[in-house]
Structure 1
Amino acid sequence: MSKLNIALTFSALVAITSNFAVADDLKVGGSVRANYSYSDYSESSKDKIGDLDFNLLSVTFSDKWNDIGVKAEYRFYQGYDFLKYGYAYWDVNEDLTVSGGVINKPFGNKGYASHNWWYSLNYYLGFEDDYGVGVAAKYQNGRSLTEFAFIKNAVYGGSDHRDFAGTVAKGTVDGTSYNNEEANTLAARQSFTLTDGELITIVGASLEYGQLYNSAFGENGDTLNYAAHLDMSYDGWGLQAQYLAYDYDQYDDGQIDPNKIGMGMLDGFFEVASKGNIYTANLSKNITTSWGSYTLYNDFSMVQPDVEAFDDSLLNTTGVSLAYGPVFVYVDYYMAKNVLWLGGNSLGLIQADDDWDQRFNINFAYYF
């Protein structure tokens, strides 16, 4: 989607909701965030005893009249900005909702596959908090929740790498050019909620199939991904687990190693293993106090590439999140091996060394 189309879509949503503001109040909010980090793999970080930076400014709005509603969020980072989501929805009845616009892809653990600010490795491969332009339907029938989506294409197309989560895209890494675009993707998630006293268990499975279009050669590849996932909670304790198999089977134009593929997100472009498995295991404990609440957690995820010559990528995060009124804080300690932007430069490829890279991180957010 072009910058002009994004702007027009965002403006149209604002105009629509403004026309109905008399009947239903337009809810406008957002957040301002700052981030402190200390990284043992960065000499400059160690020399300066860490870095404190502006993280982002986000603006959200929503409105609803009768059974029709709209929601959107726009984010501003250092040097770039983008629409995270923006869609209209219709509550057909109390069980069925349909939506269209920049929507969330129903795949993997319901909500998030992590508790920390950095997310899990699923996020960087396009399987956590991922969005695209399309239509979706959600049907709740007792304990069963069925979700379908047709994603026409990435929010910003193939060449603009501002999409929020990992997206197969066009670009060049170390002299290798990739010309792929995600298109015409079908995604589905089926989950069941089981309750026994305070114990709540959500079990589910997800499936995704889509087109990978090579714009330079006019040829197609495809992607086939599936996952089984579990979310459990009891007396403040939480357990998340997921097994995910992915396969980005791109067209081999003779200029690439088909075991690697290029992905873009958050204004960056990088290589990952084109086929592999992702394992996720998270444990958390939520504690509520008179002044707010906090959640202790340990999140673990691993990318296991399908090629024997490549190396696994591992990320373990131990941390706590604090919520007090409009203030939310993440305090995280990351230990990573062969992980993009955490001492490494890829996911699931050959690692430069066998070291564990470490980062201490505090993210401050004020919501308004």
Structure 2
Amino acid sequence: MNAQTEDEEPFLQIGGALRFNMILQDYESSINATSSSFTLDTWRINVLYDNPAGIGLNFEYRFYPTFGTHFIKQGWLEYQFSESTQGQLGVTQVPFGNIQYNSHNWWFSLPYYVGLEDDHDMGIKITHSSDNFRWDFAYFFQAEPEGPPAAFGSGGPGRYSYDVIPDGNTSLTERNQLNLRSAYQFDESEIGGSVQFGQLYNSVRNEFDSQYALALHADINSGSFNILQQILYYKMDTRNDAGENISTVFMGAYAIPYEVSTEAWIATLGISYSYDVEWGPVTNLNFYNDFSYMANSIGSGSTLTAGKSSLDLEENFQSTIQNITGLLVTAGPVYTYFDIAQGINHPWLTDNFGIGVGPGHEDLGTGSSEYNIRYNINIGFYF
């Protein structure tokens, strides 16, 4: 949004989207009648507003029939202090890593599944541009509001982005998070770094633990090519309700919680090629491949909290791999993703949902991780 002059009129836009998902899963078990499905993925409402005083609103609410829940994705008030400085207050995107996304596909990249891609929290953010630099400063008091628990399944928190949640014997929530992001911009590209530091509040112990994350990232455009690169490290120094050091915390989104390692490195590389066409309503084809690798850094002798039980680990947790090869077809207001999602030790690409970015299959006695594939077509109409 640009600064407005006094003769400009207030602007209000109401839109949304309706998306469908076609799935074929080839996981640990053999393909059968339950391996494929055609679902109503999402429908959502969007509201944008700004006026001559420089005050604006950005709001999005989503409904997920497949998961039986609904929730706010984003919702902030904004004020344009000048052409180079804007403030946002409310549920706004956390300025960390490549933004808005660190991926080209419908699945995102691995940082999303540990709360470090397209995360939204409740707080205040200032964005300032000067010469070739963009600076983002933010303070988040807490995670975004939860929607209702799923009407079926685990009944975890309904929300869009992954955050630490209370579960088992770890009564933790995110509080008091600070973010600083800086990026040097040139030729429609940028390279930068991000720092995040925050607290984890244990309501049983009535004490605060800490967490932090660091990232180097680049978003490079050259002709029809786009390259997204990022390497990040995060660590959570936290304990369970009994005061014991733990190796995993519970994180939740879409009303389904799972365990996440408290310390890891993640490297990602995504490449896309955009090709314009004139095939009736089809105007663009975007080919891409997004690769992610997550190396857990938990050492021997750590204590793993798994639900209500604990055990000692003899080795590091397993690594997680995700690779998405796909094509985005643009036809007017219809955007269709054709994705081949491949994963090893991935929380979503497995018959044992949620096992992956925490202890892994072997450490929980469910067998070795396998190379799993999901063929996914997502058709979205945006208005």
TM-score, normalised by the number of residues in structure 2: 0.85
2:303 paired residue number: none
Greater CA drift, 248-257 or 106-115? 248-257
SS at match of 1:106: coil
1:186 paired residue number: 178
- Tell me: CA distance 1:339–1:256, structure 2 relative to 1, closer, same or farther (3 Å): farther
1:170 paired residue number: 166
| CA deviation after TM superposition for structure 1 residue 252, in Å | 4.2
1:314 paired residue number: 321
CA distance in 1, matches of 2:379, 2:103: 18
Two-structure CA RMSD over aligned residues (Å): 1.9
| CA deviation after TM superposition for structure 1 residue 210, in Å | 0.5
Alignment of 1:184-333 (within 5 A): 184-195=176-187, 200-254=188-242, 258-290=246-278, 291-307=282-298, 308-333=315-340
SS at match of 1:347: coil
CA distance in 1, matches of 2:222, 2:118: 24
Alignment of 1:1-368 (within 5 A): 23-41=9-27, 46-47=32-33, 50-66=36-52, 67-78=54-65, 79-156=68-145, 161-172=157-168, 177-195=169-187, 200-254=188-242, 258-290=246-278, 291-307=282-298, 308-343=315-350, 344=352, 345-351=355-361, 352-368=367-383
CA displacement 1:62-107 (0-9 Å, x = unmatched): 1110111101000011111100001110110000001101111000
CA distance in 2, matches of 1:336, 1:247: 23
- Tell me: CA distance 1:342–1:68, structure 2 relative to 1, closer, same or farther (3 Å): same
For 1:339, the aligned partner's letter is: H
- Tell me: CA distance 1:329–1:192, structure 2 relative to 1, closer, same or farther (3 Å): same
Greater CA drift, 301-310 or 60-69? 301-310
- Tell me: CA distance 1:257–1:355, structure 2 relative to 1, closer, same or farther (3 Å): farther
SS at match of 1:225: strand
Verify the 8 A CA contact 1:187 1:206 in the aligned structure 2: yes
Verify the 8 A CA contact 1:270 1:346 in the aligned structure 2: no
Verify the 8 A CA contact 1:313 1:348 in the aligned structure 2: no
- Tell me: CA distance 1:191–1:48, structure 2 relative to 1, closer, same or farther (3 Å): same
For 1:243, the aligned partner's letter is: I
| CA deviation after TM superposition for structure 1 residue 42, in Å | 6.9
Give the % identical residues.
29
For 2:27, the aligned partner's letter is: Y
| CA deviation after TM superposition for structure 1 residue 189, in Å | 0.6
Verify the 8 A CA contact 1:309 1:350 in the aligned structure 2: no
SS at match of 1:286: strand
1:6 paired residue number: none
SS at match of 2:57: strand
Verify the 8 A CA contact 2:275 2:285 in the aligned structure 1: yes
Verify the 8 A CA contact 1:219 1:251 in the aligned structure 2: no
Verify the 8 A CA contact 1:149 1:187 in the aligned structure 2: yes
| CA deviation after TM superposition for structure 1 residue 235, in Å | 1.0
| CA deviation after TM superposition for structure 1 residue 238, in Å | 1.2
SS at match of 1:140: strand
| CA deviation after TM superposition for structure 1 residue 219, in Å | 1.3
Verify the 8 A CA contact 2:90 2:123 in the aligned structure 1: yes
CA displacement 1:33-53 (0-9 Å, x = unmatched): 110010012758632561101
| CA deviation after TM superposition for structure 1 residue 212, in Å | 0.4
Verify the 8 A CA contact 1:228 1:243 in the aligned structure 2: yes
CA distance in 1, matches of 2:101, 2:35: 31
CA distance in 1, matches of 2:89, 2:30: 45
